[in-house]
Structure 1
Amino acid sequence: MPLKRHKALQPLSHNHHHSLLLCWKIRMGFRKQIDLNRIKRYTDWYFHHHIQPHFSLEEQHLFPILGEDHPLVKRAMAQHRRLKRLFTDEYEFKRNLSRIEDELESHIRFEERVLFQEIQAQVSKSQTELPEILHRELPYEENMSDPFWE
């Protein structure tokens, strides 16, 4: 049964969908034995254009709803830090790409199934509005300069 997502959180969920596709693209790159430098170039681009802005939006406008001391926010922040390190580490490409594929998918599932549900419950209980900025879709552009996954 699909989760009922608050309208203001739907743009973030759409971003999550695109990031799940990134995980699939990494898996396809491994399956097709694509040169790791090609996959790394794409994930670098994706990190700068999509992951960083998404994390910033969540950290600045969404997580404060529960507060920085909330255990779910602490968990999400720790996952953000870990993913940022994996994306920006210039060594051990294969290991890091494999971990990104696994940990990013796990992180998205956690946010969608647990954290967002808690935020929705808190907003409903306190009858507050989610920040207006969350209602805006982060623009998505695809980088088709090297579609290694096709």
Structure 2
Amino acid sequence: MYKPIKRHKALQPVSREHHFGLLLSWKIRQGFKLNIEVKRIKAYTDWFWTHHLVPHFNFEEQYMFPILRNNHNLIKRAIKEHNRLQRLFTAIDKIERNLWLIEEELVAHIRFEERILFKEIQGNATKQQLEIIEQEHEKVITEEWQDQFWLKNLKHLNQ
């Protein structure tokens, strides 16, 4: 069992976004468990990719990763995983297979960033770098999705 990580307040919003990534993986699993059409799940993951993960990855790469420098092994790994996830999200064939891979690889990537990479970034960041992260993250805007297919079997409870 992992002990809760004490995250600097400047990094907390980025960590909170990771929570939504973990929820995405759960929603994919729920969608398959509930026999939801693959195209509905894919529509949601496409939207999530565009409105949440692309801005999130861009933010990390622009404001957080330079703290350790691009030639740092942990940064190389994170960028490699970002690129792999991009290929999975944007692929137009083998959709069901790719959704399962997204579900699995996104969780592993988030765990790596939370447990290893962010700890290293937090330990090396200057006060000024943390202030910039905090200021710039306030500019990130996200949107909500309407088709909550993952709640299919819970709707009867609200009636």
Which residue is equivalent to 1:61? 63
Whether the aligned pair in 2 keeps the contact of 1:61 and 1:131 (CA below 8 Å) is no
Letter paired with 1:130: Q
* Distance in 2 of aligned mates of 1:72 and 1:143: 32
Runs of 4+ in 1 over 4 A off after TM superposition: none
Structure 1 unaligned spans of 5+: none
1:100 Cα shift?
A: 0.3
Give the letter aligned to residue 18 of structure 2.
H
Q: Determine the structure 2 residue equivalent to 1:114.
A: 116
CA distance in 2: counterparts of 1:91 and 1:121, whole angstroms:
41
Cα distance in 2 for residues equivalent to 1:47 and 1:64: 23
Structure 1 residue 134: Cα displacement: 2.1
Give the direction of change, closer, same or farther, for the CA distance of 1:9–1:128 in structure 2 (3 Å limit): same
Q: How does 1:24-43 map to 2 (within 5 A)?
A: 24-43=26-45
Shift of 1:19: 0.9
On the 8 A contact 1:68/1:74 being kept in 2, the answer is yes
Q: TM-score, normalised by structure 2?
A: 0.88
Q: Secondary structure at the match of 1:7?
A: coil
Give 1:114 shift.
0.1
| Structure 1 residues 133 and 54: CA distance shift in structure 2, 3 A | farther
Q: State the distance in 2 between where 1:143 and 1:134 align.
A: 27
Q: What is the match of residue 14 of structure 1?
A: 16
1:118-146 per-position Cα deviation (integer Å, ceiling 9, x unaligned): 111112xxx443254421343343201x1
1:48 is matched with: 50
Root-mean-square deviation (Å) = 1.2
Q: Does 1:147 align with 2:125?
A: no
| Residue in structure 1 matched with residue 157 of structure 2 by the alignment | none
Following TM superposition, by how much is the alpha carbon of 1:7 offset from its aligned partner in structure 2, in angstroms? 1.1
Unaligned runs of 5+ in 2: 152-159
TM-score (norm 1): 0.93
Q: Is the 8 A contact 1:8 1:130 kept in 2?
A: no
C-alpha change, 1:148 and 1:133, in structure 2 (3 Å) is farther
